[in-house]
Amino acid sequence: MKNLIDIKQLSKNQILDIFQTADEISKNSKKKNRQLLKGKIVANLFFENSTRTLISFELAAKKLGAHVINVNIDTSSTSKGETLRDTIKTLEAMDIDAFIVRHSENKICDEIQSWLKPKTVLINAGDGNNQHPTQALLDVYTMLKYKSDLSEQKITIIGDIKHSRVANSLIDCLNIIGNTNTNIFGPEQLLPELLQNVTVCNSIEQALDNADIIVMLRIQKERMKLQNIPNLEEYHNNFGLNRKNLSHANQGCIVMHPGPINRDVEISSEIAYNSPSVILEQVKNGVTIRMAVLAKLLSKKF
Ligand code: CP
């Protein structure tokens, strides 16, 4: 693995290997981890807002001993008309070892990759509604902490699937891992036209019935035309997760959400950060998984 652009570039063994690296790194002493990327320079280039991904990549790189540059797009020369290509080439000339890029344009990382020198690493931190590979890795890593074998677990993803790079990359990752029981549910206008190897449910009860893992997604207003945005109260009544409809799920089920959450829209406040929600566990695992990915791509030791 030279770059991480799309989860589909990884085999099941490569994914499990990243998880093993994450376990190993989390057992290491802080001092040992700080040696892994000593002297490396990592640049975060986020053209879309972020809390979890940006901060966890920064923390992950720092915990491995790298220097981190967070490029502020608003104060950069992008506002003077510099192209993305020229910005990237300028930073690369300053000996940046790795770029972590979030952008609204689907597949922009394929282009960026073609501009970079072979030794420069590129990680996709989310492109349009296409891919968010490290989110898929941290989601499946978290699932495996609670359910040792995911092959037949009923995994249900509910919400705005159509505009969600999280859903796309998670479904791809579950296909690679070998889960055969992935279900989706949401308003018709927020479901994709084509998705392979998933069951589309007709009601929230069907989606939640005997579910082992429930993944709730927010409505991605930023990727929608205004007229497609549902009424939020109505949305919560028909598609939101609450204590009452959660009772359809299996005992021992877990509730996940990539964040940011919209309380009492897709998930009720009483579930948000309370059992069986593992949302904050996902956040924590995000740092470990990103440490593992950075170590795999930049350290000779992995
Ligand atoms: N899950 C996720 O990508 O969150 P941020 O947008 O806060 O990074």
pLDDT at 145: 98
Q: Is 86's pLDDT higher than 70?
A: yes
**Mean pLDDT of the region 246-268:** 97
Residue 210, ligand 1, Cβ within 6 A:
no
* 271: exposed, middle or buried (Cβ count in 10 Å: 0-12, 13-18, 19+): buried
**Mean pLDDT of the region 70-81:** 92
Give the mutation target among 46, 49, 53 for probing the ligand 1 site: most ligand atoms within 8 A of CB: 53
Residue 55, ligand 1, Cβ within 6 A:
no
Q: pLDDT tier at 226 (50, 70, 90 boundaries)?
A: low
**Mean pLDDT of the region 94-102:** 98
Q: Is 50's pLDDT higher than 70?
A: yes
How large is the angle between the packed helices 279-298 and 52-63, nearest 10 degrees? 50
pLDDT at 228: 72
Residue 285, ligand 1, Cβ within 6 A:
no
Burial 203-217 (b: 16+ CB within 10 A, else e): ebebbbbebbbbbbb
Q: What is the pLDDT of residues 114-134, one digit of tens each?
A: 999 999 999 999 999 999 999
Instruction: Return all residues near 9 (Cβ < 8 A) that are at least 6 apart.
Output: 1
Return the CA Rg of the chain. 19
**Mean pLDDT of the region 169-176:** 97
Q: Is 285's pLDDT higher than 90?
A: yes
Residue 51, ligand 1, Cβ within 6 A:
yes
Look up the pTM and report it.
0.97
pLDDT at 225: 75
Dihedral over Cα of 285, 290, 296, 302: its sign: negative
Residue 269, helix vs strand vs coil: helix
Q: Is 227's pLDDT higher than 70?
A: no
Residue 258, ligand 1, Cβ within 6 A:
yes
CB 68 within 8 A of CB 44: yes
Q: Kindly report the protein residue whose alpha carbon is nearest to atom 4 of ligand 1.
A: 52
CB 226 within 8 A of CB 189: no
What domains appear along the chain, each with residue ranges and CATH number? 7-132+285-298 (3.40.50.1370), 133-282 (3.40.50.1370)
CB 108 within 8 A of CB 129: no
Residue 52, ligand 1, Cβ within 6 A:
yes
Q: Is 269's pLDDT higher than 90?
A: yes
